[in-house]
Structure 1
Amino acid sequence: MTLTFARNSKTAFMFPGQGAQAVGMGLELYRGSNASKEVFEMVDEALGRPLSKIMFEGPEEDLRETKNAQPGIMAVSLACIEAMKENISEESMPVPYLMAGHSLGEYTALAASGVLSVMDTALLVQERGELMQKACDSNPGTMAAVLGLDEMVLQEIARESGVFVSNINTEEQIVISGEKISVARAMDLASARGAKKVIPLKVGGAFHSGLMEPAKAGLMEFIDGLKFNDPAVPIIANCTGTPLHSGNEIKGELITQIAGCVQWKKSVDFMIKSGITNFLEIGPGRALGGMVKKIDRTANVASINDIDSIVAISRN
């Protein structure tokens, strides 16, 4: 996607979540940007293991593991920002008015907005992933995407089948989660009541659902040990679709978010109402930009994930 935007227009930075990972992500940044290389080295050092080797070389099944995918995606997004600073002049550098991240991406926004250091963010993301995995082991579950069904109808199906609405991505794309037998029943009900498509997701558990409640206590304890600054740029909360302005607000959001619904459509709607016309998806994949376009066809959207895309922005 190419981006055409006026320099006086408002811009939002968006950060992707788990599922955006791919073997080789970040390698071109590592080779072509000293500032990016430093990010990958900091994350490896913080985690005490060569995560970048798994990101660059695989194997895919290792990268897909939550403990690797989540900090890996975060690292690529932050490396992109550092490469932007290195390759774009100050007068041409996009300046975010708001930031937002999808699930894991909300954590990336913490580092990007100065709430936490890169190393503290990496440690927090790793802890979150481990706590989520423990919750998955204790309460096995799964997720499914439902396309083309009214949200109110799907909420009723969720009540009937005992599943949770986990992501409201666009008007047409909603994700449910829960115990496997309950999700299977909900999928059948959704198809019977007019869903255009129902897609089982290849995930390790029922993320953003009540099955993640056991992860909250450990996450709260870990968060309490970190110093949260106020964000330099407001971050749109996944759970409410409204801006977070303080470190204390952000702490509460992260605790709620691990078992709460990601209100992505509401977040994008808020950004649009706030005057955002330029949406920069920073990191691997292009899923968020596609969602924004589904919500507002007139939005200017671009994905930044390598040096070429950064250079293209600088020439805009």
Structure 2
Amino acid sequence: MAGSALLFPGQGSHVADMDATWRDTPLFDRGLELLGYDPFADLGMGTRVQQPAIFLVCACAWDAHDGGQEVAAAGHSLGEYAALHAAGALTFDDALLLVDERAAAMQDAAAAQPGGMVAMLGGDSHAIAELARSLGLTVANDNAPGQVVLSGALEMVDTAVELARSDAGARAMKLDVAGAFHSPLMEPAAERLRAALAATPIAEPAFPVWSNGSAAPFADIRRELSENLLRPVRWRETLLALRAHGVERFVELGPGEVLTGMVKRTLGVEGTADRRAVV
């Protein structure tokens, strides 16, 4: 399986003026037409606009990418939609509309049941897991060695911040997100997404796309996309699995270079961020 794996980032990867490279391109214009609004007008509005904006940048980066050696793809949370689009499983139109519905559903679920997320940097992984269990929090992201994210009720997230150093030897950083993503609190959003996915045609991918929830190629795209709102992002395991399957090169397409850094931390090798995708 020697070749390249495409990596697409998720929410939190947005950077200032990330749309500048792609404005006035046909695909970008098509995206704004489909959405009926400009998500880049105020990215400070959070999840509701950040998700479609990031997907649109990722899709434009893929459209401009000079590839040909791709043997696999993976996306970090939201990035799964761009990965499935790149593999031909979702059309651009369908993927963007799904992302728009996903963003709205997640924002609404977060407003109905406030929650939060906290990154635990360093520390003992077993102690972090035990702290999460004791507080009723979910391990939402296993991003890289020494970088785990917990998700759940806002009060318990605040308690985790207070106890991180003493109970787990970790440095805690509360994340600026709308809710408890990748936790059971997102069930209302998952239900809405199931309905949207049921009405969306999905084709066989041209190459395997790794699922966050299983750290393996998607077996049931509709089911896994909805369930992945509730399950951890197993990113570290995904990178290890891609390497075990013979992937030799990782190419990040989208705003920023966060995933490229995770490749280096997890595998000890350099990834490549397509500079045309980074503004």
TM over 0.5: yes
- Cα distance, 1:103 vs structure 2: 0.3
Structure whose CA Rg is larger: 1
Aligned residue number for residue 225 of structure 2: 254
Which residue identity lines up with residue 16 of structure 2 in the other structure? V
For residue 264 of structure 2, what is the aligned residue in structure 1?
293
Q: Which amino acid aligns with 1:16?
A: P
Contact 2:254 2:278 in 1 (8 A): no
Q: Which of the residues 36, 39, 42 maps onto 1:48?
A: 36
Distance 1:160 1:46, change over 3 A: same
CA displacement at 1:279 relative to structure 2: 0.5
Does the alignment pair 1:16 with 2:4? no
Moved more, 66-75 or 285-294: 66-75
Misfit runs of 4+, over 3 Å = none
Contact residue 76 and residue 283 of structure 1 kept, 8 A: yes
In structure 2, the partner of 1:275 is 246
Contact 2:116 2:178 in 1 (8 A): yes
Give the residue type in structure 1 aligned to 2:14. Answer: Q
Evaluate the alpha carbon distance shift between residue 307 and residue 134 of structure 1 in structure 2; reply closer, same or farther with a 3 A threshold.
closer
The alignment's C-alpha RMSD in Å is 1.8
Match of 2:161 among 152, 175, 187: 187
Check conservation: 2:8, 2:75, Cα contact below 8 A: yes
Q: Does 1:156 align with 2:139?
A: no
User: Does the Cα contact within 8 Å between 1:103 and 1:262 map onto a contact in 2?
Assistant: yes
* Counterpart Cα distance in 2 of 1:307 and 1:236: 21
Aligned letter for 1:61? Answer: G
**What is aligned with 1:141?**
115
Structure 1: which amino acid aligns with 2:194? M
| Cα distance in structure 2, aligned partners of 1:23 and 1:270 | 33
Amino acid at match of 2:208: P
250-259 or 186-195, which moves further after superposition? 186-195
| Alignment partner of 1:25 out of 7, 15, 18 | 18
User: Identity of aligned pairs, percent?
Assistant: 34
Q: What is residue 60 of structure 2 aligned with on the other side?
A: 79
Task: Report if the CA contact (8 A) 2:124-2:170 is conserved.
Answer: no
Structure 1 residue 171, shift from structure 2 partner: 2.1
Letter in 1 for 2:47: T
Paired amino acid for 1:257: N
Pair 1:219-2:206 in alignment: no
- Deviation, structure 1 residue 96: 1.1
Residue aligned with 1:27, SS: coil
User: What is the Cα deviation at residue 308 of structure 1?
Assistant: 8.9
Post-superposition Cα deviations, 1:146-176, rounded to whole Å, max 9, x if no partner, equal 0112332222111111111100001210000
Residue 30 of structure 1 deviates from its aligned partner by 3.2
Kept in 2, the 8 Å contact 1:150–1:171? The answer is no
Q: Given the two structures, how large is their TM-score scaled by the length of structure 1?
A: 0.84
Q: CA deviation at 1:300?
A: 3.3
Q: Which residues of structure 1 form unaligned runs of 5+?
A: 1-7, 32-36, 310-316
- What corresponds to 2:237 in structure 1? 266
> Partner of 1:123 in structure 2?
97
How far residue 227 of structure 1 moved from its aligned partner, in angstroms, is 0.6
Task: State the distance in 1 between where 2:267 and 2:273 align.
Answer: 16
SS in 2 for 1:156: helix
Structure 1 residues 83-119: Cα deviation after superposition (integer angstroms, max 9, x where no partner):
22xxx4xxxx342111000000001112111111111
Query: Unaligned stretches of 5+ in structure 2?
Result: none
CA deviation vs aligned residue, 1:191-225 (integer Å, no higher than 9, x gap): 11243411111111111111111212211111100
